[in-house]
Amino acid sequence: MQQADVRPLWQRGLWAALAGALHAGSLSPWAAGVHAALPYALQTLAFAGLVMLLSATRRPRDGALLAWVYGSVWLIGATGWMFVSLHRFGGLPAWLAALAVYLLCVALSLYLAVAGWAWARWRTGLALPDAVLLAAVWLLAELARAYLFTGFPWGASGYGLLDSPFVALAPWVGVYGMGAIWAAGVAVICLLARQTGWLWRSLIVLGTASLGLLGPVRGPQFTEPHGAPLRVSLLQGNVPQDEKFVPTYQGAMLAWHAQQLLAADADLVVAPETAIPLLPSQLPNGYWEGLVSAFAADGGRHALIGLPLGDFEQGYTNSVAGLSAQTAAQPEGFYRYDKHHLVPFGEFIPWGFRWFVNLMNIPLGDFARGPLAAPSFQVGVQRVAPTICYEDLFGEEIAARFRRPETTPTILANLSNLAWFGESVAIHQHLQIARLRSLEFQLPTVRATNTGATVVIDHLGVVRAALPANERGVLHGDVQGRAGVTPFARWAGAWGLLPLLLAALVGVAGVACWRRVAGARAATGAIPH
């Protein structure tokens, strides 16, 4: 093994914090705006720094601390926009909102701390098995963050690999598999580089970070064009969050959305999440009935509209209503999609945290949960699969809609409202998430949002049309639906994240067995030690 790092732990902790800040910076719009390869380069340099720190650490507790510091700074930098919703719109004092964000991020980073401890404890001193072990525990940490306590996978490492050669892996292994394979590759290069002098070591790491300059690599196409392109109109109301639920402002907002919905000359018009922020029974007389009847009378036009549905006695849902001549014959008079993956504190209140929610001035409540594998909205021959805001972080849940080949979606549609987070990096990061979903399923995505990013994304994850963020407008574009099922959609639809979990456990177990066999041989003199 290489010589241990003799610097004080606090100095190494500062370097871990710097590396974590670089990782957070890779998820910023600034990095993507400078050059498409910069996010990959920053994230790779950040992770390489962590690998170098961990590889020079001998005590498992030091490895845990360094990984925990790295993860905490990474997540605080990547998700600090939550402060805006808690303080500006929730009314929490600034210190309490900042403390809540800090505690959440450091708690979620405990998964990475366990990974750092495990790697420092079980590594072998050889580059290849140690890289496999590091990738396995890194994957386990990301899966834990994605799954436990309903999951909060925002900022996962796979999103930093957009526009790099690693996107070819997306339809095969999804975002977490991409992150694990990337981690293994960077780790083996860094561990081998530690055997060289500092100059060569630096050049090797910098060369690894520059691989993003190669750009995306396109692998096999598992989907093919399906039917004629749809003409779409995507609404972006740019309604301030502090006006959305205030009655004195709602009249103008309702009028603008109704006007755009009725005037749109498109096959499909989409209004964002809670574009109509009231239950149908709370709307002005004739408002909802007029929209339903207008689309029922026009057989060529369709609409997806975000609004709450239900009532206060039976419960209510965060929903999407689909309007068309075909859906007018359904019992409710429209297609209905109810959000399945709800946001903790925003759409349901975890047990024991009612006191925290009571401190905020936000119209929160416990929404009912919709089905996992909801049917798509039919627009001609196209099957449009809605998701609502935060739901599109969970590609493995969207994959459940691909279990039956005859009903698989041909277009993904995300309806969002990120006005809760102001003019923050959340808009850019959510766009990265949507692009990755298109890559995983090789399907186009349309996004109608209140403040951005309202975009049309093709099946290769490329943004084909977009509105400027934080401006009111309507985006018009064409979307080519596609039919087919990617390997990721096939296995994730059947088993969720279980195959990745098993792969990570096999990696850990394989290295553990190798250690035991090598140790036994060394003890008997079969191999030098």
Q: Is residue 155 part of a domain?
A: yes
Cα 316 to chain centroid, rounded: 25
- Cβ–Cβ under 8 Å, residues 438 and 412: yes
Q: Is 349 helix (H, G, I), strand (E, B) or coil?
A: coil
Q: Is 456 helix (H, G, I), strand (E, B) or coil?
A: strand
Q: Is residue 518 part of a domain?
A: yes
- Same domain for 502 and 471, yes or no, is no
| % residues pLDDT > 90 (the chain) | 72
| Out of 18-32, 219-233, 331-345, 421-435, least confident range | 331-345
Q: Is 321 helix (H, G, I), strand (E, B) or coil?
A: strand
- Same domain for 334 and 290, yes or no, is yes
| % residues pLDDT > 70 (the chain) | 93
Q: Which pLDDT tens digit goes with each residue over 251-287?
A: 999 999 999 999 999 999 999 999 999 999 999 999 9
Distance of CA 184 to CAs 130, 161, 190, 273, 504, Å? 9, 14, 10, 38, 12
**105 is known as an active-site residue:** no
Token pair recorded at residue 98: 């900042």
* Mean pLDDT of the region 94-117: 95
Return left, alpha or beta for 53; rule: phi > 0 is left, psi -120 to 50 is alpha, else beta. alpha
- Same domain for 377 and 507, yes or no, is no
- Same domain for 485 and 503, yes or no, is no
Q: Which pLDDT tens digit goes with each residue over 308-318?
A: 998 877 788 99
Q: What is the 3 state secondary structure string of 371-437?
A: CCCCCCEEECCEEEEEEEHHHHHCHHHHHHHHCCHHHCCCEEEEEECCHHHCCCCHHHHHHHHHHHH
- Same domain for 391 and 506, yes or no, is no
DSSP state of 325: T
Q: Is residue 528 part of a domain?
A: no
Give the pLDDT confidence score for residue 518 in this predicted structure: 72
Q: Is residue 3 part of a domain?
A: no
320: which strand partners? 306, 337
* Mean pLDDT of the region 15-33: 95
Q: How confident is the prediction for the chain on average, in pLDDT?
A: 91
- Same domain for 243 and 303, yes or no, is yes
Q: Which pLDDT tens digit goes with each residue over 286-299?
A: 999 999 999 999 88
Helices 127-147, 498-523: inter-axial angle, 10-degree rounding: 150
**289 is known as an active-site residue:** no
Token pair recorded at residue 65: 């601390």
232: which strand partners? 268, 477
State how many domains the chain has.
Answer: 2
- Same domain for 104 and 48, yes or no, is yes
124, burial (CB in 10 Å: exposed 0-12, middle 13-18, buried 19+): middle
DSSP state of 344: B
Q: Which pLDDT tens digit goes with each residue over 437-469?
A: 999 999 999 999 999 899 999 999 999 999 999
Q: What are phi and psi of 456, to 5 degrees?
A: -115, 125
- Same domain for 59 and 197, yes or no, is yes
Q: Is 339 helix (H, G, I), strand (E, B) or coil?
A: coil
**389 is known as an active-site residue:** yes
CA distance 438 to 422: 26
Q: Is residue 90 part of a domain?
A: yes
DSSP state of 85: I
Q: Is residue 2 part of a domain?
A: no
Of the candidates 142, 273, 396, 397, the residue annotated as catalytic is 273
Q: Is residue 459 part of a domain?
A: yes
Q: Which domain holds residue 208?
A: 9-219+497-523
Give the pLDDT confidence score for residue 348 in this predicted structure: 60
Give the pLDDT confidence score for residue 346 in this predicted structure: 63
Give the pLDDT confidence score for residue 1 in this predicted structure: 45
Cα 221 to chain centroid, rounded: 23
Q: Is residue 135 part of a domain?
A: yes
C-alpha count within 13 angstroms, C-beta hemisphere, residue 390: 18
Of the candidates 347, 389, 396, 397, the residue annotated as catalytic is 389
Is residue 357 over pLDDT 60?
no
- Same domain for 99 and 185, yes or no, is yes
- Same domain for 290 and 374, yes or no, is yes
Rg of the chain over CA atoms, in angstroms? 24
pTM over 0.85, yes/no? yes
- Cβ–Cβ under 8 Å, residues 132 and 184: yes
- Same domain for 187 and 307, yes or no, is no
CA distance 154 to 80: 11
Q: Which residue has the tokens 């290069």?
A: 189
Give the pLDDT confidence score for residue 119 in this predicted structure: 96
Question: Which CATH number goes with the domain that contains 400?
Answer: 3.60.110.10
Give the pLDDT confidence score for residue 353 in this predicted structure: 62
- Same domain for 24 and 88, yes or no, is yes
How many other CB atoms sit within 10 Å of the CB of residue 388?
Answer: 28
Give the pLDDT confidence score for residue 523 in this predicted structure: 66
Of the candidates 142, 339, 347, 397, the residue annotated as catalytic is 339
C-alpha count within 13 angstroms, C-beta hemisphere, residue 416: 30
